[in-house]
Structure 1
Amino acid sequence: MSKTIIVSNRLPIKITEDENGYALQPSEGGLATGLASIHAQGDNSWIGWPGISIDDPQQQAYFTSTLQEKRLIPLFLDEDEIKGFYEGFSNEVLWPIFHYFPNFANYNLQNWETYVRVNQKFLELILQVAEPDDTIWVHDYQLLLLPGMLRKALPDASIGFFQHIPFPSQELFRLIPWRKELLEGILGADLLGFHTFDDVRHFISSATRLIGTNNNANRLEVEGRAVFVEPFPMGIDSKRFADLSQAEAVTNRVAELRSNFGGQKIILSIDRLDYSKGIIQRLEAFELFLRENPAFHKEVTLYMIVVPSRDMVPHYRELKDHIDRLVGHINAQYGAYDWYPVAYFYHGYPMSEIAALYNVADVCLVTPMRDGMNLVSKEYIACRKDATGVLILSEMAGAAKELIDAIIVNPNNIHDTRDALLAALNMPMAEMKKRMKSMQAIVFKFTVQHWATLFMNRLQEIKNEQSTTKARLVGASIEEQIITQYKNASSRLLLLDYDGTLVGFQDDIDKASPDEELYQLLDQLEADILNHLVIISGRKHSTLEKWFPGRNYSLVAEHGVWTKEPGSEWRLKSGLSNSWKDEVGSLMEAFADRTPGAFVEEKSFSLAWHYRKVQRDLGPLRAHELIDSLRDYSATYGLQLLDGDKVVEIRSAEVNKGRATLDILHENHYDFIFSIGDDRTDEDTFQVLPPEACTVKVGTEVSAARFYLKQQSDVRALLRKLADASTATQ
């Protein structure tokens, strides 16, 4: 029976050590809660680091056995691995780059090598327990290489990946020296999940620009395999927080806190110590608020909790010192003997205390400089059963895309945050409740359990789709079926596209001439008297004439404008007009003039605007603009617009490969038809052929063709087998 293997840097249970020895205790965080329902099912297991370095093999064996009873599989790391993998590369390269602090990045080669080695250790542990039909769900930035490693080891595995922190723009991501390896690692998954659509867009931009991955919207093509990139906003266990708020210990603590602060308004701030959280800017905004609004002195307190984190690292130690100085300055400048504007606490608290603070706070101030989601904002909303309270939320947090009824601020603009504080503290009760109820509807619907279920269901849909399309891939069984039909046929039609099919795609259109191997292959196919070989191309007839002089196969040029049978002259399709060319050509030349690398190719009765040499994203942008500009001409002159492979072509609507194919079928009868092509123009051919024809699309399975090949290099191998079958039967 198949199972799901969850893989994350940390297990949901950690090993701790004190004077009494080792002990197990639950890990904090929403991930453990969110995946608990997935982990609880069947024989599902969870692999991760237990949070401590243990060198004693006997202790490792003991905890491995103990944790495996809970279907948890620990991966033990030594101190050097923790330092290089987690503290080093993960948090000195990936964390600052992904949070838009590139000046904090430390590109240490040794740390990178340790990162690779630890990802490899995760792979080896997974392979000990994984079966071929298992689903493997990998989590977060510490394991970016793991999906690619898994794909090589388990080619048919169902692999998901979710990133819990932001993904940066490609201009930032490209700063990482090992960007190619990281992207290829992530793309080993079938489904990539991020918190927001912005993260999805940034990842696709990096994959397409930095390693040349082809994409269609959120679908990437990776070595003939479809990889989907989608947003899955993570939620919280809303019911747990709502129930906790009603617990007696929490309600008692709420009453105590309210008594301590009298009638003051409480602004709550909770963060881990990190430069991405915007703590300094938040304090500066609060100081500005106090300076400009003296009426609120002694009426409001900023209750600020900073949870210790890596405060021995220089950047974090400097941040801690800066916070200490700024809090001291504000309290000294504006405080009184009976009031401190900032109540500052530098340590962690149990969840019951946090829930009490959520219920006391009139305003929750969440203003990170960059955050993947930020669950504090959602926890605050879930705890407010009376629907009071105001959330001020940074637009740089993923949660801002969902919680649009919060007061949204730019954390870099302290004047913006000051205005938000004033608006929050003066907000009418009716508006406050309206906003809060709207956000609660979202938080209680899109829970962390909902998030996990959505991701797993989507991964299953993708694997089902891949299974269906795999059945159409020309593998051994389909290849044998095609060859058998070919051998048994008494008359055969072979319709072969040229560019991207018989030859590879070239940036220079004049460099795609046939090579000697192709000539030999086509001549061998043509030599079989049962075969009618047709090269059907968008190329100019003069080009095909130059490339195939005196050859005994039929040629169709410019999608059917010109045709030539062996031993005959070129024949022009009648009834075509060029009256539109001057006007349309001027427009296309104008687009070429403002698009470096683009050029216009004139054919007998069509014009083609090529952008194969244009900067990757600029080309499609200009092409879509050109298509929009050409639509009126298309309607006026009865022309057809074609958005091809790095080319926009406009031609008579009476001309296409489908019509040319129908002319061939009208003149002859065949009991075996084979058609192969790689772009949009070939779809016209596939659509007019009878359903029993062997139609093959090259490069993608999305087509009207019955079958597909992964890449152009596979075409000649298939044609060679057909040619050899001819030789064997002659």
Structure 2
Amino acid sequence: MSKTIIVSNRLPIKIKDEGEGYALQPSEGGLATGLASIHAQGENSWIGWPGVSIDDEEQQIFFRSKLKESRLVPIFLSDREIKGFYEGFSNEVLWPIFHYIPPYANYDLTNWEIYTRVNEKFRDVVLEHADPEDTIWIHDYQLLLLPGLLREALPDASIGFFQHIPFPSQELFRLIPWRRELLQGMLGADLLGFHTFDDVRHFISSATRLTATNNNSNRLEVEDRTVFAEPFPMGIDSRRFSALSSDERVLKRVSELKATFKEQKIVLSIDRLDYSKGILQRLEAFELFLQQHPQFHKQVTLYMVVVPSRDTVPQYRELKDQIDRVVGHINGQYGQYDWYPVAYFYHGYPVEEIAALYNAADICLVTPMRDGMNLVSKEYIASRNDENGVLVLSEMAGAAKELIDALIVNPNNIHDISNALFTALNMPPAEMKRRMASMRKIVFKFNVQHWAALFMSRLQEIKNVQSATRARLVGTSIEADIVNRYRNASSRLLLLDYDGTLVGFQDDIDKASPDDELYELLDALEADIHNDLVIISGRKHSTLEKWFQGRPYSLVAEHGVWTKEPGTDWRLKSGLSNAWKEEVSTLMESYADRTPGAFVEEKSFSLAWHYRRVQRDLGALRAHELIDSLRDYSAAYGLQLLDGDKVVEIRSAEVNKGRATLDILHENRYDFILSIGDDRTDEDTFQALPPDAFTIKVGTEVSAAKYYLKQQQDVRRLLRNLVTISQSH
């Protein structure tokens, strides 16, 4: 029976060194809570580092045995591995780059090598526990290489990956010296999950620009696999925080807090010590608020909790010193004998104390400079069963995409934050309740259990899609069927597209001329008296004439405008008009003039706007703009728009490859038909053919074709096999 293996940097437990031994404690983190229901099922297991360095083998054996009872598998790391893998590469390269602070990045080669080795160590342990039919769900930036490493060892495994921090724009990501290796590692997954669509967009941009990966929307074609990248906003255990708000201990602590601050409004700020959290800017904004609104002196207190984190690292130690100085300055400047504007606490608290603070706070101020999701904002909302309180939230937090009824601010704009505080403190109770009720619906519906179930469900859907697609691949059995039908047929039709099918694409369209091998292949197929070979292309008839002059194939040019039978002259389809051409050509040339690398190709009764040599995203953007501009001409002149592979073509609606195919079928009867093509124009051919025809798409995009081949080189291999049959008879 298949199982799910969860893999993360940390196990959902804490091992504490108590001097004479170690003690185990369950983790209260959001990930542990979210994955608890999945981990609890069947024989599912969780692999990760237990959080401490344990070198003693007897202790390691003890913990393996102890954790095995809970289906937890520890990976023990040495002090050097922890320093290079976690403290080094993960937190000195990936963390600052992914949080848009590149000056803090330290590109140390030794740390990269250790990061690679630790990912390989994780792979080895996973392989000890994984079977081919298992599902493996990998988490976060410490294990970016792991999906690719596992894919090499388990090519058919179901692998998911979730990124819990932001993914940066490709301009920032490309700063990392080992960017391609990291992307190739991530692309080993079947499904890549991120908190927001912006993160998805950034990842796809990096993957397509920095590796040989093509995409169609959120689908990436990686070798012979389709990889999906999608947003899955992470939630919290909302029921737990709601229940804590009714806990007697929490209610008692809420009363104590309110008594301490009497009639003052409490503005709550809770963060881990980190330069991405915007703590200094938040303090500056609060000081500005006190300057601008002296009427609120002694009426409001910023209750600021900063949880210690990596304060031995120079940047974090410096940040801590700066926070201490700014808090001291504000309290010294504005404080009075019975009031300090900032109540500052530098330590962690149990969840009951945090829940009490959420319920006592009139405002929760969450203003990170960059954050993957930020669960503090959601915890605050889930805790407010009374539907009171106001959330002030940074637009740079992933949660801002969902919690649109918060007061959304730019964390770099201290005036924006100050104004939001003033608005929050003066918000009418009815508006406050309306906003809070709306956000609570979201937080309770899209909770952490929903997040985990949705991801796993989508991963299964994707594996089903991949399996269905794989069944259509022209593999051994399907190819054997094609060969047998070909061998036994007495009248065969071979309809072959040119660019992307018989030859690979070239940036310069005039350089895609046939090579000697192709001529030999086509000549051999045509030499079989049972074969009718037709090259059906969007190319100009003059180009096909130059390339295939004197050869005994049938040629269809410009999608059916021109046709030529062996030994005859080119024949033009009747009833076509070019009255529209001059006007449309002017428009298309204007788009080419402002798009470096684009050009317009004029054909007999069509115009093609090529953008193969244009910067990737710019080309697609201009193509969509051009298509929108051409729609009016299409309607006015009865033209057809084609959005092809790096080309936009407009032509008479009466002409397409499907109609040209029907003309061929009308003149002859065949007991074997093979059609191969690679782009949207070939779909007309596939749809025009009878059900018993072999229709093959080059590439894995959705198609009307029955079967597909992975790449253009596979077409020639298949045709060579057919030549072998022809020459043996």
**What TM-score comes out, normalization by structure 1 length?**
0.99
Residue equivalent to 1:440 = 440
Residue equivalent to 2:546 = 546
Residue equivalent to 1:656 = 656
Residue equivalent to 1:135 = 135
Residue equivalent to 2:407 = 407
Q: Give, in whole Å, the separation in 2 of the partners of 1:591 and 1:252.
A: 69
- 1:569-608 alignment to 2 at 5 Å? 569-608=569-608
1:241 aligned partner, one-letter code:
F
Residue equivalent to 1:257 = 257
Deviations 1:58-97 (A, max 9, x none): 1111101111111101111111111111111111111111
Measured after TM superposition, the shift of residue 224 of structure 1 is 2.8
CA contact (8 A) 1:162 1:194 kept: yes
1:67 is the counterpart of 2:60: no
**Mean CA deviation greater in 495-504 or 292-301:** 292-301
Q: Give, in whole Å, the separation in 2 of the partners of 1:456 and 1:419.
A: 42
CA contact (8 A) 1:305 1:345 kept: yes
1:681 aligned partner, one-letter code:
T
Q: Give, in whole Å, the separation in 2 of the partners of 1:638 and 1:451.
A: 48
SS in 2 for 1:110: helix
**Mean CA deviation greater in 357-366 or 544-553:** 544-553
Deviations 1:573-615 (A, max 9, x none): 2222222222222222222112111111111222111111111
SS in 2 for 1:617: helix
1:145 is the counterpart of 2:145: yes
CA contact (8 A) 1:469 1:701 kept: no
SS in 1 for 2:472: coil
Residue equivalent to 1:568 = 568
Deviations 1:633-667 (A, max 9, x none): 22222222111111111112221111111111111
2:130 aligned partner, one-letter code:
A
Deviations 1:488-539 (A, max 9, x none): 1111000011110000011011111111111111111111111111111111
**Mean CA deviation greater in 317-326 or 174-183:** 174-183
Q: Give, in whole Å, the separation in 2 of the partners of 1:386 and 1:266.
A: 16
Residue equivalent to 2:209 = 209
Residues 701/470 of structure 1: CA separation in 2 closer, same or farther (3 Å cut): farther
CA contact (8 A) 1:239 1:444 kept: yes
**What TM-score comes out, normalization by structure 2 length?**
0.99
Deviations 1:560-580 (A, max 9, x none): 111111122222222222222
Measured after TM superposition, the shift of residue 212 of structure 1 is 4.2
Deviations 1:267-319 (A, max 9, x none): 11110000000100111111111122222222211111100000010000000
Residue equivalent to 1:47 = 47
CA contact (8 A) 1:219 1:229 kept: yes
1:244 aligned partner, one-letter code:
L
Q: Give, in whole Å, the separation in 2 of the partners of 1:638 and 1:433.
A: 56
CA contact (8 A) 1:195 1:234 kept: yes
Q: Give, in whole Å, the separation in 1 of the partners of 2:269 and 2:491.
A: 79
Q: Give, in whole Å, the separation in 1 of the partners of 2:220 and 2:686.
A: 24
1:321 is the counterpart of 2:321: yes
Measured after TM superposition, the shift of residue 405 of structure 1 is 1.1
Q: Give, in whole Å, the separation in 1 of the partners of 2:258 and 2:588.
A: 72
- 1:366-445 alignment to 2 at 5 Å? 366-445=366-445
Q: Give, in whole Å, the separation in 1 of the partners of 2:631 and 2:253.
A: 69
SS in 1 for 2:17: strand
- 1:256-275 alignment to 2 at 5 Å? 256-275=256-275
Residue equivalent to 1:108 = 108
Q: Give, in whole Å, the separation in 1 of the partners of 2:90 and 2:337.
A: 45
The share of aligned pairs that are identical, in percent, is 80
Deviations 1:306-354 (A, max 9, x none): 0000001000000000000011111111112222111111110111111
SS in 1 for 2:14: strand
Residue equivalent to 2:77 = 77
SS in 2 for 1:277: coil
Q: Give, in whole Å, the separation in 2 of the partners of 1:3 and 1:602.
A: 58
SS in 1 for 2:640: strand
SS in 2 for 1:62: helix
SS in 1 for 2:632: helix
Q: Give, in whole Å, the separation in 1 of the partners of 2:239 and 2:585.
A: 64
The number of residues matched between the two structures is 729
Q: Give, in whole Å, the separation in 1 of the partners of 2:337 and 2:670.
A: 100
Deviations 1:12-56 (A, max 9, x none): 012110223211112241000000000000110001000011111
SS in 1 for 2:111: helix
Q: Give, in whole Å, the separation in 2 of the partners of 1:685 and 1:59.
A: 68
Measured after TM superposition, the shift of residue 466 of structure 1 is 1.0
Q: Give, in whole Å, the separation in 2 of the partners of 1:27 and 1:442.
A: 25
Measured after TM superposition, the shift of residue 206 of structure 1 is 1.3
2:363 aligned partner, one-letter code:
V
Residue equivalent to 2:185 = 185
Q: Give, in whole Å, the separation in 1 of the partners of 2:248 and 2:53.
A: 39
Q: Give, in whole Å, the separation in 1 of the partners of 2:672 and 2:81.
A: 62
Q: Give, in whole Å, the separation in 2 of the partners of 1:436 and 1:164.
A: 26
SS in 2 for 1:608: strand
CA RMSD, aligned part only?
1.1
Residue equivalent to 2:700 = 700
Structure 1: gaps of 5 or more residues? none
Structure 2: gaps of 5 or more residues? none
Deviations 1:199-222 (A, max 9, x none): 111111111222242111111111
Residue equivalent to 1:638 = 638
Residue equivalent to 1:163 = 163
Q: Give, in whole Å, the separation in 1 of the partners of 2:631 and 2:290.
A: 60
Residue equivalent to 2:282 = 282
Residue equivalent to 2:240 = 240
Residue equivalent to 1:472 = 472
Q: Give, in whole Å, the separation in 2 of the partners of 1:654 and 1:367.
A: 59
Residue equivalent to 1:197 = 197
**Mean CA deviation greater in 690-699 or 257-266:** 257-266
SS in 1 for 2:276: helix
Residue equivalent to 1:89 = 89
**Mean CA deviation greater in 339-348 or 562-571:** 562-571
SS in 2 for 1:457: helix
Q: Give, in whole Å, the separation in 1 of the partners of 2:92 and 2:171.
A: 18
Q: Give, in whole Å, the separation in 2 of the partners of 1:437 and 1:653.
A: 54
SS in 2 for 1:567: coil
Q: Give, in whole Å, the separation in 2 of the partners of 1:626 and 1:349.
A: 58
**Mean CA deviation greater in 207-216 or 55-64:** 207-216
SS in 2 for 1:161: strand
Measured after TM superposition, the shift of residue 157 of structure 1 is 0.8
**Mean CA deviation greater in 320-329 or 334-343:** 334-343
2:368 aligned partner, one-letter code:
P
SS in 1 for 2:89: helix
Q: Give, in whole Å, the separation in 1 of the partners of 2:605 and 2:417.
A: 62
SS in 2 for 1:568: coil
Moved over 6 A (4+): none
CA contact (8 A) 1:192 1:229 kept: yes
Q: Give, in whole Å, the separation in 1 of the partners of 2:264 and 2:648.
A: 67
- 1:111-126 alignment to 2 at 5 Å? 111-126=111-126
Q: Give, in whole Å, the separation in 2 of the partners of 1:169 and 1:35.
A: 29
1:337 aligned partner, one-letter code:
Y
Residue equivalent to 1:493 = 493
Deviations 1:465-500 (A, max 9, x none): 111111101111111111111111111000011110
Measured after TM superposition, the shift of residue 692 of structure 1 is 1.0
Q: Give, in whole Å, the separation in 1 of the partners of 2:246 and 2:612.
A: 64
CA contact (8 A) 1:370 1:396 kept: yes
SS in 2 for 1:471: helix
SS in 2 for 1:538: coil
CA contact (8 A) 1:701 1:707 kept: no
Q: Give, in whole Å, the separation in 2 of the partners of 1:207 and 1:280.
A: 34
Q: Give, in whole Å, the separation in 2 of the partners of 1:494 and 1:695.
A: 10
